[in-house]
Structure 1
Amino acid sequence: MPVKIPDNLPAAGILESENIFVMSETRAANQDIRPMKVLILNLMPNKIETETQLLRLLGNTPLQVDVDLLRIHDKASKHVSIDHMNNFYRDFEQVRHKNYDGLIITGAPLGQVEFEDVSYWDHIREIIDWSQQHVTSVLFLCWAAHAALFHLYGLNRKLLSSKRSGVFNHKRTTKHYPLLRGFDDEFFAPHSRFAEMDVELLRAHPELQVLTESDTAGAYMVLSKSNRNLFVMGHPEYQKSTLKDEYLRDLAQGLKPEIPENYFSDNDPEKSPIARWHSHGSLLVSNWLNYYVYQLTPYNLDDMSAITPWES
């Protein structure tokens, strides 16, 4: 949360140059507070596990967050009961008339399927288009990031010869963005995908900014110049055992997966995984929720035109 300081205090300029967020007394006195309204479109097969992962990150902030869960269709799922979906999830028609402070769209196990061949592709495009008018900021994760970059900017992913699975070292490519406040120069993040975006195409696009990347895993965090869309190519929400569970699942299905990189102790799947990304994942979501949702969203959600971008 911001530090409130007296108007015109000389320290303000120094703190801001160090990426310490401060708020003047005048701004604080005129700021109304209300719960943040966040919508989660959960595309992952294991709904409950993904819900838990995301809510854990959203809960690691002093902000009050009201969450609605959204499903892409009402078809039965193999991994969760229809009662769970009917009791806790909403259909798009139930929320399309609303505005939200934030929207999170999860990854999906569709890495080897062409976007136009995805059964709910038209519905995904409709929700993405809707979000550009009804949501202050959207966080796209993994497959959703690739899908949104394709739909919004015409940038297509490259399919990989084998699955990119593991925990990879990343570096900041820019310093002065609120999203990166508190980030170390290098940090770890997990990936689990069959495709990646061309970093040079992302850098060349006039509406996008590559904030962090990996020498091995490519672009990781990409932000639109409007601040409305944040694309994260990996899975900061994953818990310690998730990559192991995916690896064992693929083994059981006879897919002969490679051992996730930089994940198991001594690179031995018989040993325990090492979680290196939890602090990064928590900071990423906290910064997004604070600086790109809470600090930008209008008090009255009916007035989305009141959103003003950060001066980065």
Structure 2
Amino acid sequence: MPIKITDGLSAKELLHEEGIFTIDKGSALHQDIRPLRILILNLMPLKKPTELQLLRLLGDSPLQVEVDFCRTTSHESVHTDPSYLEQNYYTFDDIKDNYYDGLIITGAPVEQIPFEDVDYWPELTTYLDWSAGHAFSTLYFCWGAQAALYHYYGIEKRLLPEKLFGIFEYQLTQKGHPLLRGFDDRYFIPQSRHTAIDDIKVYNTPALDILSRSPENGINIIGTADHRRFFVLGHFEYDRRTLETEYLRDKNKGLPISVPKHYYPKDNDKNQPVFTWCSYAHLFYHNWLNIVYQETPYCLEDIGHGKFCVR
């Protein structure tokens, strides 16, 4: 089924080139089906690449998916044209009375700043509190996951001795979990962060289930038993060249940056990066959408009343 987006999104033409079908919201009204409604709070400074990466994964589904993008208003984006944001992004006031099957909250390059010092922190916590009654399942990744774990459970982040940068292997700790159905015992995911969470605090939080981890880098995926919150400390959505773009950006600026680990063959940045996480990324988002489809009440307004019946 096609993915339903606004006409103005820059990702639309590229998605067509990749064979991913899209449909505008006007045409979708003529289809006798209720699509899954997904809201994406895009906190990344470069909005357009993140849009494409996420839409590519959400569009690889037999379900019709309607995607809305939203943004913070308490932070002025300097990397994306304001007119583009006005045309294609909602604000909280625009969507606060809406209901969604799923919500995605992205990462942001602010991890070395205390949470309360991030200029849009109060607005982000408003989204986090609002989501409990307006979105059935929320997926948080990287800094978005750290922020949500801190807000909901008081789990702090800590600065790493060096940036965790590259492609890393993690092992499943809950085999058979619907979010990781079809995964091998081990999988790969890109990492690009200076901080980590307090794993001991996660283990001591009864509301949280650890779904995967590694001995070297700790916990990777966390969930709640009711499937309403999933936290991913990493970036399944990154495409083949994303880490390379970050690496070359910092290298060309003369900033201290190491070659991303387990990314280039023989760690030689003249070689093409190996795309070892692609199938896991598609499977992960397919599984999440399936959970959302199976468990969200058909009438989305029931989310606010705690009525979670299987379709």
- After TM superposition, give the deviation of residue 253 of structure 1 in Å: 2.5
TM-score by length of 1: 0.86
- After TM superposition, give the deviation of residue 257 of structure 1 in Å: 0.6
Native 8 Å contact 1:198 1:218 kept in 2: no
What secondary structure sits across from 2:107 in the alignment?
Answer: coil
Native 8 Å contact 1:222 1:232 kept in 2: yes
What secondary structure sits across from 2:148 in the alignment?
Answer: helix
Native 8 Å contact 1:41 1:103 kept in 2: yes
Aligned to 1:306: 307
What secondary structure sits across from 1:66 in the alignment?
Answer: strand
Aligned to 1:265: 265
CA gap of 1:289–1:161, structure 2 versus 1, over 3 A, is same
Aligned to 1:224: 224
Native 8 Å contact 1:33 1:299 kept in 2: no
- Aligned pairs for 1:1-312 (under 5 A) are 34-73=34-73, 76-291=76-291, 293-304=292-303, 305-308=306-309
Native 8 Å contact 1:169 1:189 kept in 2: yes
**Rg larger in 1 or in 2?**
1
- After TM superposition, give the deviation of residue 80 of structure 1 in Å: 1.8
Aligned to 2:3: none
Gaps of 5+ in 1: 1-31
- After TM superposition, give the deviation of residue 74 of structure 1 in Å: 6.7
Deviations 1:202-257 (A, max 9, x none): 12210000001122322111001231110000000000000010011111222211
What secondary structure sits across from 1:303 in the alignment?
Answer: helix
What secondary structure sits across from 1:149 in the alignment?
Answer: helix
Aligned to 1:6: none
Q: Percent identity?
A: 44
CA RMSD of aligned residues (A): 1.8
Q: Which amino acid aligns with 1:254?
A: G
Native 8 Å contact 2:100 2:136 kept in 1: yes
Whole-Å Cα distance in 2 between the matches of residues 74 and 56 of structure 1?
28
TM-score by length of 2: 0.86
Whole-Å Cα distance in 2 between the matches of residues 253 and 73 of structure 1?
30
Whole-Å Cα distance in 2 between the matches of residues 45 and 148 of structure 1?
19
| Number of residues of Structure 1 aligned to a counterpart in Structure 2 | 279
Native 8 Å contact 2:74 2:119 kept in 1: no
Q: Which amino acid aligns with 2:187?
A: F
What secondary structure sits across from 1:132 in the alignment?
Answer: helix
Gaps of 5+ in 2: 1-31
